Amino acid sequence: MSTPNRVLITGAASGIGNACVRLFNDQGYIVLGMDLNSPDDDSLFAGFEQGDVTDGPAIDHVINAFEIPTKGLDALVHCAGMTGHGSATEIDPAFWSKILNVNLTSTFLITRAVIPHMQLNGGGSIVTIGSTFSMIARDSMIGYAVSKAGVAHLTRCLAIDYAKDNIRANCVCPGLIDTPMTSHLNAPGHEDVRQTLINAHPMKRPGTAEEVANAIAFLSSDAASYITGQVIGVDGGFTAGKQVVPEARH
């Protein structure tokens, strides 16, 4: 009987990360989690550590706490991240640095830490989380969009550099997903913004964290063994194109 695969999920306490925790657990993985916050239910984790993904020593602590150097790691799902608004003339330079650090630099740090162990273990899968705004620009979100575009391209670079080691790297780019990160759109006074965003998605609804987790689990599995370096939208058609006359039916 083969040993269950081990997966490390960051941002594991809520949102897409927590949906991944539940799904990977259902699929028989040994689930290891990292987040700044504690999860509501830690029973789904074989191990959980609070930690900051922008802090190299904190990542090293997690790697050692989960005995990754000796027990290996089959998959990394890096969900930790943050959002933020502002154009180039509006965003504070300190916030610019923070959002690039949380979204992009953390991806570099966590992948840099796990790849040597995947190399020694014969390979593995890395899934990063981008955004629809990894692929297209959006008004008044320059820090978020640029950081997520960086995540997508970093992922392509990983795929090219480590294909020889049987390490695959892919980037999943969610559209509007109902998670704590987008919960501010449910606040009074934001109804029009939320509806505008929904209408921009051809499927005319937000996605769920579980739908994104399904794509991540597929990319992490042997069923995706020849897929690497891809940037894949899970976005209800948002990045496919624009509906110029959406009411028309031909």
Which positions are catalytic? Answer: 144
Planar angle of CA 177, 41, 28, nearest 5 degrees? 80
Which residues have a Cβ under 8 Å from the Cβ of 45 and sit 6 or more positions away? 12, 21, 31, 32, 33, 39
Q: What residue ranges in the chain does DSSP mark as E strands?
A: 6-10, 30-35, 47-50, 75-78, 124-129, 167-174, 177-178, 207-208, 231-234
Residues 75, 80, 83, CA angle at the centre, nearest 5°?
145
For residue 210, give the DSSP letter.
H
Selection from 79, 106, 58 nearest residue 8 by Cα: 79
Using the structure block, give the residue that is written with the tokens 């998605």.
Answer: 201
CA distances from residue 235 to 35, 135, 190 in whole angstroms, order as listed? 25, 12, 21
Closest CA to 12 of 131, 129, 153: 129
